[in-house]
Amino acid sequence: MLDQALLESLVAEARLAPSVHNIQPTRWRRAGDRILVLADPTRRLPVADPTGHDVRLSHGAAIEGMALALSRRGLRIVQVELHPGAIPVDGGLIPVAALDIAPGGVPDQLSDLVTQRASWRARFMPGNAGTDQALADLARTESDLTVITEPGQIETIAGLADRAGFHFLCDAAHRKELLAWMRLSSGHAAHARDGLNAEAMALGRLEALAAGLVLGPLFTTLHLIGLAEPLTSDGAKTRSGAIALFHRPAGEDPVLTGRAFYRAWLGMTRSGLSACPVSVLVDWPESRSALTKLFPPPAGRRLVNVFRIGAAEQHGVCPHYRLPVAELLEST
Ligand SMILES: Cc1cc2nc3c(=O)[nH]c(=O)nc-3n(C[C@H](O)[C@H](O)[C@H](O)COP(=O)(O)O)c2cc1C
């Protein structure tokens, strides 16, 4: 049922799933009719994601990407066996999960949206009746999302996001790690492969050059004269759209959370909306606690992430910067 050529075509679609900083930590291996999901331990974010939560969530998104790709071929995942361990197997990879594959899949409606979803990091277009309707539909159909459209509340969240973001940027190790995953010039060897390139971050050439200086050698001086904070603010972008709070059952394995995360994001794409996570809001305890006080998650659930969301100028036009399939596949 599952041969190497099929796995290649499945991975080509599964790799379009979002991953934190686009580090693409997931690797795949065929074992009979099982697909082994493995983690490349060299692709982690020890500073921004010290517990590995977001990397594990990214594996979950990749698994959901695999489920969607399988569904298009009449196949389905009948069982997901999760491996919580961190012990490397051969090749230094760490098992994340084993997927049992069987016939009987029906095309998942979200699978058609995979190529149309991408992070939108520019400002959103001014809302109109269509946007309002799409946001209302999303709030009604996505049980994992709380949609916030009230301008005063968005303003509060934009302020919190800026404080949270700046809190992390003041840490030199954080800036260093972020810069290492940024590809600010088109000449960067990994520009179209992984990480965050200038196009994905909606930065023009000069802006990309400036970003490298502001986050790099000029940060300390700019901070001293009070310019670092305004120069790194995303407030205008956050205020230009709405907010979606993503919550999931407390105690859920982040791999399962990641599957739901990808589905919720594709749900936004289906509604004609574009989005981008703002992880700093949940990563910084101060903003996280302020947010959960203002917008308590439903009983038994935890706030996992926060999306900026709205109407994009180029909805559905999505370049994806990804590693070649061959590098994601481990031979059996
Ligand atoms: C767990 C997780 C957290 C993320 N957090 C952020 C974030 O805080 N800011 C951001 O701009 N993108 C964030 N992203 C989006 C990724 O950077 C994005 O998915 C990746 O660069 C691939 O690009 P694509 O979404 O356009 O396919 C996050 C993605 C995941 C899976």
CATH code of the domain in which 94 resides: 3.40.109.10
Residue nearest to atom 20 of ligand 1 (CA): 22
How far is ligand 1, taken at its centre, from the CA of residue 223, in Å?
26
In this structure, the answer to whether residues 265 and 155 fall within a common structural domain is: yes
pLDDT digits (tens, 9 = 90+) for 137-190: 999 999 999 999 999 999 999 999 999 999 999 999 999 999 999 999 999 999
> How is residue 297 annotated by DSSP?
P
Residue 294 is part of which domain span?
119-310
Residue nearest to atom 4 of ligand 1 (CA): 20
Q: Is residue 315 part of a domain?
A: no
In this structure, the answer to whether residues 55 and 16 fall within a common structural domain is: yes
How far is ligand 1, taken at its centre, from the CA of residue 31, in Å?
30
In this structure, the answer to whether residues 109 and 131 fall within a common structural domain is: no
In this structure, the answer to whether residues 218 and 289 fall within a common structural domain is: yes
In this structure, the answer to whether residues 101 and 144 fall within a common structural domain is: no
pLDDT digits (tens, 9 = 90+) for 236-274: 999 999 999 999 999 999 999 999 999 999 999 999 999
In this structure, the answer to whether residues 258 and 148 fall within a common structural domain is: yes
Q: Is residue 71 part of a domain?
A: yes
Using a 6 Å cutoff on CB, does residue 118 contact ligand 1? yes
CA distances from 296 to 144, 247, 268, 290, 303 (A): 13, 10, 22, 10, 8
Question: Does pLDDT of 3 surpass 90?
Answer: yes
In this structure, the answer to whether residues 97 and 187 fall within a common structural domain is: no
Q: Is residue 95 part of a domain?
A: yes
Using a 6 Å cutoff on CB, does residue 54 contact ligand 1? yes
The reported pTM is 0.97
Q: How many domains does the chain have?
A: 2
pLDDT digits (tens, 9 = 90+) for 142-152: 999 999 999 99
In this structure, the answer to whether residues 181 and 305 fall within a common structural domain is: yes
Q: Which atom of ligand 1 is nearest to 17's Cα?
A: 27
pLDDT for 261 equals 98
| Backbone φ and ψ of 242, nearest 5° | -110, -175
How far is ligand 1, taken at its centre, from the CA of residue 20, in Å?
5
104-108, 148-152, 310-314: segment of lowest average pLDDT: 310-314
Cβ-contact 295, 146 below 8 angstroms: yes
In this structure, the answer to whether residues 44 and 136 fall within a common structural domain is: no
In this structure, the answer to whether residues 187 and 87 fall within a common structural domain is: no
Q: Give the bridge partners for 305, in sequence order.
A: 246
